[in-house]
Amino acid sequence: MTTPHPDHDRGLEFDLSTLLSRRRGLGMLFGAGAAAALAACTPSAGGGSASPSSTATATASTTAAASPSASATSTVTRAFAECGVEIPEETLGPYPGDGSNGPNALEASGVVRRDIRSSFGGSTTKAEGVPLTVTLTLLDNSNGCAPLAGAAVYAWHCDQGGKYSLYDSGLENENYLRGVQEADANGQLTFSTIYPGAYSGRWPHIHFEVFESMSNATAAGQVLAVSQIALTESACKEVYATSGYEASARNFPNTTLTSDNVFGDDGGVYQLATMSGSVSGGYTAALNVTV
């Protein structure tokens, strides 16, 4: 069987070196906060990502001070109950398209969008697949888990065949399944996309970077967190039984959450999305992201 991405996820050490090179090239001066964030990303002696801390119990005063507005969704309410564990830092992988490893979609006009199914700019090719709506709730761990309003997320993932735009053969001029969104007053943002495929060696996932602001995201500025969303087994089985996902149906049984080289250290406990939906109606995935 052909392995689509034999060098996928070369590790945090590689990612950090490329990120630092990119920042230096742009003349970025790292303050104490950025330095601390990078230090937290450094791999352990065993080569894995840093283990998440134990869940902290929010005090009543902290919860009251950071309570979401009445318009917040149930995801926001649940996020406060779960807050206290920062999202595990993970590899960007070799296909980020953020300028750290080749092409930079973040500098392209049109990358700020909710619907990321189509390419933008010179192409309008649309990625086919089962619809998926992804909602992230960003929380500021240094500020009593208050919503991280105004932060921005760059998200990207493979298509239903396990291929990445901007990198894979024949897709170098496509930039679909990549986009940036800004968090609202409740720290929430949403992407409309398609269910990603499963390729050899990885559990189905979505990559994302959290930036301090929208201007940072579109100018390759300070990164607050780099992580990945893990999709649920039940949804994957349902989706991969449909037309167009034949390769995923073959690849999916070969990697488990615990054997995956990204989620395997803790089974993706802090990165596994809450999911619902159906093949006919589309799926939703929600994740609380504490940074």
* Residue 126 tokens, joined: 């649309």
- Contact status, residue 160 vs residue 244, Cβ threshold 8 Å: yes
Asked whether the beta carbons of 260 and 88 are under 8 A apart, the reply is: no
DSSP H or E run through 139: strand 131-140
Kindly give the pairing relationship between strand 282-290 and strand 223-230: unpaired
The tens place of each residue's pLDDT in the chain, 291 residues long, gives 444 454 455 344 434 443 443 333 333 333 333 333 333 332 232 233 333 333 333 333 333 333 333 345 556 655 556 677 899 999 899 999 999 999 999 999 999 999 999 999 999 999 999 999 999 999 999 999 999 999 999 999 999 999 999 999 999 999 999 999 999 999 999 999 999 999 999 999 999 999 999 998 987 678 999 999 999 999 999 999 999 999 999 999 999 999 999 999 999 999 999 999 999 999 999 999 999
Q: Specify the pTM.
A: 0.78
The pLDDT value given to residue 84: 79
- CB distance 157 to 5 below 8 Å: no
Query: Cα–Cα–Cα angle for 151, 52, 139, nearest 5°?
Result: 25
Taking the CA atoms of 240, 127, 87 and 201 in sequence, report the sign of the dihedral they define.
positive
163 Cβ neighbours under 8 A, 6+ residues apart: 4, 171, 197
Q: Specify the pLDDT at position 83.
A: 76
What confidence score (pLDDT) does residue 218 get? Answer: 84
